[in-house]
Copies of this chain bind each other. A is one copy, B any other.
Amino acid sequence: MIIILKESATDEQISHVVARVESFGLQAHLSKGTYRTVVGVIGDEAKIQAAPLLAIPGVAEAVPIMPAYKLASRKAHPQPTVVHVGSGDAVTKIGGGHFGMIAGPCAIESAERLDSIAGDIKAAGANLLRGGAFKPRTSPYAFQGLGEEGLKILREVGDKHSLPVVTEAIDPRHVEMIAEYTDMIQLGARNMQNFVLLTEVGKTGKPVLLKRGMAATIQDLLMSAEYVVANGTTDVVLCERGVKSFDNSCRNMLDIAAVPQIQQLSHLPIIVDPSHATGRPELIPACALAAAASGADGVHIEVHNCPEEAMSDGPQALLPAQYAEVAKQIRAVAKVVGKTF
């Protein structure tokens, strides 16, 4: 931490800043510049990161040197984490050169439909089946998911096709139940800073798919990953799925540079969801290929066999045949940048 004082800071104020730093068991190193005094903090920065330094009279700025996340950082774990999802015959690895192909419908609507979609995506090369049983809908009047019934369907269909399964949790009271039915728990973009939910999901020890919030910085995302890891789950896959921007020609703006950035900062795998990022099927293939080329550890694509009848987010789903086509190209591009299948 570097504390930059105001030009107007008095000697008394400077002494007070030094005393505050020392009160945290840290040392203060003064550097008087031409215009301003700067206080370098020596010692474990974590002790002072949450302190309201800007509220101290005479302080202009406090510049952290260390990130506030630790367990999620590359420093804590220099090698990339390989997340294992599933068990028995159906284990999918994501990270460290292993590429996750997550696909499925937005919501689980019926056993028949999910079975049909699962068969198609498995054939196309998908290795993880997604489907929502509890849906966070912006309208209280919209379809909210099949609940536990949906979880049962997901489990059965996944088992039938030897695909591990992932579904979203939105209520801390359901986390335990979801953990029983599925292989991985998704934390959605709207809940990325639902710290209560992060904590509960982290405690299950299950692999987690953590989606970036629509206005979350990369630092925010890694802090949320820290919540999950600090509560006990080290198998966290991060997911870039587009953020808010001033240009509403797409639903969100896919932040492709987040992939190499996160890979520098963290050991956790990072995948990309071009379905939610764009909200438009005709843009999904180009964005999925961009993700693969950028070095992402996987892609998450919504697939539905009759989008116009989908009970949630139909317009952003690919048809199974479209998915098969793009899946082939994704593998070709991912191989160029060193991924194995």
Contact B40 A38 (CB under 8 A): yes
- Which among B220, B245, B282, B315 is the interface contact of A52 at CB below 8 angstroms? B315
- Quick one: closest B residue to A228, CB to CB? B140
Separation of A314 and B50 alpha carbons in the complex (Å): 10
Contact A195 B136 (CB under 8 A): yes
A193 at the interface (CB under 8 A from B): yes
In the complex, which residues of chain B have a beta carbon less than 8 angstroms from the beta carbon of A213? 215
- Which among B139, B286, B292 is the interface contact of A259 at CB below 8 angstroms? B286
Contact A35 B220 (CB under 8 A): no
A15 at the interface (CB under 8 A from B): no
Separation of A308 and B33 alpha carbons in the complex (Å): 24
A246 at the interface (CB under 8 A from B): yes
- Quick one: closest B residue to A1, CB to CB? B33
Separation of A274 and B231 alpha carbons in the complex (Å): 34
Tally of this chain's copies: 4
In the complex, which residues of chain B have a beta carbon less than 8 angstroms from the beta carbon of A308? 20, 52-53, 55-57
Which of A83-91, A153-161, A167-175, A178-186 forms part of the interface with chain B?
A: A167-175
Separation of A55 and B304 alpha carbons in the complex (Å): 11
A9 at the interface (CB under 8 A from B): no
- Which among B65, B223, B230 is the interface contact of A33 at CB below 8 angstroms? B65
A71 CB to closest chain B CB (Å) equals 9
Separation of A57 and B190 alpha carbons in the complex (Å): 30
A256 at the interface (CB under 8 A from B): yes
Which of A112-120, A124-132, A329-337 forms part of the interface with chain B?
A: A329-337
Contact B43 A34 (CB under 8 A): yes
In the complex, which residues of chain B have a beta carbon less than 8 angstroms from the beta carbon of A309? 52
Which of A92-100, A203-211, A247-255 forms part of the interface with chain B?
A: A247-255
Task: List 13 additional contacts besides A31-B31, A217-B248, A290-B291; criterion CB under 8 Å.
Answer: A31-B40, A35-B45, A50-B139, A50-B141, A52-B314, A54-B314, A55-B307, A138-B224, A215-B243, A215-B246, A219-B249, A243-B246, A290-B290
Q: Residues of A with Cβ closer than 8 Å to B? A: 2, 4, 7, 20, 29, 31, 33-36, 38, 40-46, 49-50, 52-57, 63, 65-66, 68, 75, 136-143, 170-173, 190-191, 193-196, 199, 213-215, 217-220, 223-224, 226-227, 230-231, 243-250, 253-257, 259-261, 264, 277-278, 280, 282-283, 285-287, 289-295, 307-310, 313-315, 317, 329, 332-333, 336-337
